[in-house]
């Protein structure tokens, strides 16, 4: 899939809601909030994001909760603090909090083997199956690499997703480093379900959303049916385009929650104040501390490009939170990304400051710029134009993508032909891990269907290589390469890196 890109657009509308600062008539704070508000508006215009929603919490108060721009490009409905967006991977901290509650109740222990609670949970390496703990599920240290294809290119339920993890080979030895892994948060959700006797979405609603008064927060995308809901957008060939929403419902504990700025402000207030809320607390002081304790070192190659600007001395991961130092303070944060949607939660606990940012343009990294600007503006001082610096940082990454495409296209070999008639390429190809790839001929093209999820109508490129646009057109073009066995029979197809084989004839 192509690197996601960001461009400039105009005609952004503004929708505002009252802030605590305005209600308190604190002149200095009102002025400070107004300046940050203006910076958000400029950043939104400069990055060409159709809609943003931002909440800032300082010293226990919500000083800003506001929407910017529009829910859907080309439509007038404004974003406000109640507009629903995808939280995506910022959901992880909530799942970690649920597990911490069960630890507080003595029903779980962080060092329990996963097998103790999920006997059916199996991994490729029997040693890892035996040794992986509940803590490991949340900190990305197992050595099992990203397996998002199990829910991204397959139409299977969550139990089948988890079952297939036994076929995913580890990338390195257990607990020797860090590699991001969504599906183990699904396993954590299954442990929560087994322990409570309720579904994960029921548990998170009853134990987090209701106590905190998060009345516009829902645990699954299929439940986010409210009309005040954002659309998803992607930059395609330099133009911001409306696309279909994706969802993470199959791995819900890793990233399925939908919410709004006003509700996420409540979540940030609680997580900054040792999990206290009006009427109680979510976690014991010990478990709250454990949530934010560094659990594993994150190597440079697994961290964010933002490190090139912020130059942290250390980068770690807690229980559902990335961490680094910024101007001598500890920073906890996590991004969330789904097709056409972004989120970012960040906090400086020593300054009692938190910010949450939603956006409706794919991988619009203005979210990082707004975080550091907020930290400087409301707590640490400084006048750096983070939006301009992040624009400069990400421009070469976009150019690298464009250059890679140009290089690939320049190496096309002219006047070649497929080695065989197109009918010879048709048929079903399978893989124990990746599922099924069905190829059919359609005139002078090949229609390639992977698990009834991804489909490409591909034209001949050169030799036995074909190329065509994904049905999710915002992904760009797929490259499909066929190969033969010793008899000259078409035996394998490589679909953008996923290898499938034709079953042997009986």
Mean pLDDT for 335-347 is 97
Instruction: Please state whether 41 falls in left (phi above 0), alpha (psi between -120 and 50) or beta.
Output: alpha
Q: Check if the beta carbon of residue 54 is closer than 8 Å to that of residue 69.
A: no
Mean pLDDT for 384-394 is 96
β-bridge pairing 258-259 and 85-86: antiparallel
Distance CA 20, CA 22 (A): 5
> pLDDT tens digits for 298-322?
999 999 999 999 999 999 999 999 9
Q: Check if the beta carbon of residue 20 is closer than 8 Å to that of residue 56.
A: no
Instruction: Provide the pLDDT for residue 506.
Output: 63
Residue 462 has pLDDT above 80, yes or no: yes
Domain 89-229, CATH: 3.40.710.10
Confidence of residue 6 (pLDDT cuts 50, 70, 90): very low
Instruction: Provide the pLDDT for residue 504.
Output: 78
> pLDDT tens digits for 245-287?
999 999 999 999 999 999 999 999 999 999 999 989 999 999 9
Mean pLDDT for 10-22 is 36
Distance CA 331, CA 480 (A): 43
Q: Which helix (H) or strand (E) holds 233?
A: strand 232-236
Confidence of residue 505 (pLDDT cuts 50, 70, 90): confident
Mean pLDDT for 420-430 is 97
Mean pLDDT for 208-214 is 98
Instruction: Provide the pLDDT for residue 395.
Output: 87
Instruction: Provide the pLDDT for residue 499.
Output: 96
Mean pLDDT for 449-453 is 94
Show the tokens assigned to 294.
């560094």
How is residue 376 annotated by DSSP?
Answer: I
Residue 1 has pLDDT above 60, yes or no: no
Could you please report the per-residue DSSP string of 125-171? SHHHHHH-BHHHHHHT-SSB---THHHHS----HHHHHHHGGGPPBS
Mean pLDDT for 392-398 is 88
Distance CA 337, CA 146 (A): 15
Mean pLDDT for 475-501 is 96
3-state SS class at 96:
helix
Distance CA 237, CA 476 (A): 10
Confidence of residue 398 (pLDDT cuts 50, 70, 90): confident
How large a percentage of the chain has pLDDT more than 70?
95
Instruction: Provide the pLDDT for residue 16.
Output: 36
Instruction: Provide the pLDDT for residue 2.
Output: 38
Show the tokens assigned to 492.
């394998």
Q: b/e map of 204-227 (b: 16 or more CB within 10 Å)? A: bbebbbebbebebbbbbbebbeee
Sign of CA dihedral 143, 149, 154, 157: positive
Instruction: Provide the pLDDT for residue 17.
Output: 38
> pLDDT tens digits for 163-206?
999 999 999 999 999 999 999 999 999 999 999 999 999 999 99
Instruction: Provide the pLDDT for residue 229.
Output: 98
Could you please report the per-residue DSSP string of 379-407? II-----HHHHHHHHHHHHHHHHHHHHHH
Instruction: Provide the pLDDT for residue 146.
Output: 86
Which residues, 6 or more positions from 416, have their beta carbon under 8 angstroms from its beta carbon?
462, 463
Q: Which helix (H) or strand (E) holds 240?
A: strand 239-243
- Whose tokens are 């250390």? That residue is 314
Instruction: Provide the pLDDT for residue 279.
Output: 87
Mean pLDDT for 128-140 is 97
Q: Check if the beta carbon of residue 497 is closer than 8 Å to that of residue 454.
A: no
Residue 126 has pLDDT above 70, yes or no: yes
Residue 439 has pLDDT above 90, yes or no: yes
């Amino acid at each position: 899939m192509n690197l996601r890109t960001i461009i400039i657009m105009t005609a952004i509308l503004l929708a505002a809601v009252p802030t605590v600062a305005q209600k308190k008539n604190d002149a200095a704070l009102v002025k400070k909030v107004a300046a940050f508000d203006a910076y958000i508006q400029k950043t939104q215009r400069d990055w060409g994001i159709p809609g943003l929603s931002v909440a800032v919490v300082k010293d226990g108060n919500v000083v800003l909760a506001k929407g910017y721009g529009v829910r859907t490009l080309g439509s007038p409905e404004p974003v406000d603090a109640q507009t629903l967006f995808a939280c995506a991977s910022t959901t992880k901290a909530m799942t970690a909090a649920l597990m911490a509650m069960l630890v507080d109740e003595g029903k779980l222990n962080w060092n329990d083997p996963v097998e103790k609670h999920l006997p059916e949970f199996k991994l490729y390496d029997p040693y890892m199956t035996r040794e992986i703990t509940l803590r490991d599920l949340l900190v990305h240290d197992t050595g099992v690499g990203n397996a998002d294809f199990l829910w991204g290119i397959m139409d299977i339920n969550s139990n089948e997703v988890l079952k297939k993890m036994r076929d995913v080979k580890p990338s390195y030895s257990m607990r020797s480093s860090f590699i991001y892994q969504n599906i183990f948060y699904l396993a954590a959700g299954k442990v929560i379900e087994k322990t409570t006797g309720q579904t994960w979405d029921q548990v998170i609603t009853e134990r987090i959303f209701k106590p905190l008064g998060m009345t516009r927060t829902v645990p699954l995308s299929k439940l986010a049916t409210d009309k005040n809901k954002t659309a998803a957008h992607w930059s395609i060939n330099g133009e911001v385009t409306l696309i279909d929403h994706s969802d993470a419902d199959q791995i819900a504990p890793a990233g399925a929650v939908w919410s709004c700025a006003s509700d996420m402000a409540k979540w940030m207030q609680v997580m900054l104040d040792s999990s206290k809320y009006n009427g109680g607390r979510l976690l014991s002081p010990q478990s709250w501390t454990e949530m934010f304790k560094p659990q594993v070192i994150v190597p440079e190659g697994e961290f964010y490009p933002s490190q090139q600007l912020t130059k942290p001395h250390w980068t770690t991961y807690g229980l559902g939170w990335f961490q680094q130092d910024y101007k001598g303070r500890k920073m906890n944060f996590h991004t969330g990304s789904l097709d056409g949607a972004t989120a970012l939660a960040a906090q400086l606990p020593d300054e009692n400051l938190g910010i949450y940012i939603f956006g409706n343009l794919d991988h619009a990294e203005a979210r990082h710029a707004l975080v550091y600007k907020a930290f400087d503006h409301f707590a640490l001082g400084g006048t750096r134009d983070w939006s301009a610096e992040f624009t400069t940082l990400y421009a070469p990454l976009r150019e690298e993508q464009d250059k890679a495409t140009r290089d690939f296209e320049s190496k096309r070999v002219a006047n070649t032909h497929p080695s065989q008639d197109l009918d010879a390429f048709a048929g079903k190809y399978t893989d124990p891990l990746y599922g099924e790839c069905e190829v059919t001929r359609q005139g002078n093209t090949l229609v390639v269907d992977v698990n009834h999820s991804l489909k490409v109508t591909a034209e001949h490129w050169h030799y036995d290589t074909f190329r065509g646009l994904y049905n999710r057109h915002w992904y760009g073009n797929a490259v499909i390469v066929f190969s033969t066995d010793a008899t000259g029979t078409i035996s394998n197809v490589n679909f953008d890196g996923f290898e499938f084989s034709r079953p042997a004839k009986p």
